[in-house]
């Protein structure tokens, strides 16, 4: 009986392990506004073990990632982003972290960006 339980447990663990993707693509919203923000956001994401690719779009504020789910998850990446001073939908940067970013990167003050895609409303 113990062997059957052990075998079932091992099968369950191996099945769960296969459910994780080593090249999972993910997109998340990250606040920022300029090329310096882009470099900081991408650098923070790529510093998380398991993140293989990071590209942040200034006009859309979308961070596109490729990550190894066996090594990281979305919350670890979002934690790194807020530590770098950039808000996500789920997590907000501390005031201390936000205050460390360059003055031109202060996205909380207004909704403009430096991408050249300004609306004239």
User: Is 63 part of any domain?
Assistant: yes
End-to-end CA distance of the chain: 73
Within a domain: residue 9? no
pLDDT surpasses 50 at 121: no
Q: For 54-92, write each residue's pLDDT tens digit.
A: 999 999 999 999 999 999 999 999 999 999 999 999 999
pLDDT above 80: residue 15 = no
Residue 81 in domain: yes
Domain range for 27 is: 21-105
Residues in the chain: 121
Residue 61 lies in a domain: yes
**How many domains does one find in the chain?**
1
Mean pLDDT over each residue of the chain, to the nearest integer: 84
| Inter-residue contact 53 to 98 (CB < 8 Å) | no
Residue 47: pLDDT band (50, 70, 90) is: very high
Q: Is residue 39 part of a domain?
A: yes
Look up the pTM and report it.
0.75
């Amino acid at each position: 009986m113990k062997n059957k339980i052990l075998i079932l447990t091992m099968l369950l663990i191996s099945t769960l392990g296969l459910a994780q993707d080593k090249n999972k693509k993910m997109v998340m919203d990250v606040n920022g506004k300029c090329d310096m923000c882009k470099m900081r956001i991408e650098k923070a994401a790529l510093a998380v073990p398991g993140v293989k690719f990071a590209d942040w779009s200034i006009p859309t504020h979308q961070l596109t990632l490729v990550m190894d789910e066996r090594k990281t998850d979305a919350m670890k990446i979002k934690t790194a982003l807020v530590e770098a001073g950039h808000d996500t939908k789920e997590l907000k940067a501390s005031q201390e972290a936000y205050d460390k970013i360059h003055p031109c990167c202060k996205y909380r003050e207004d909704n403009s960006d430096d991408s050249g895609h300004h609306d004239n409303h």
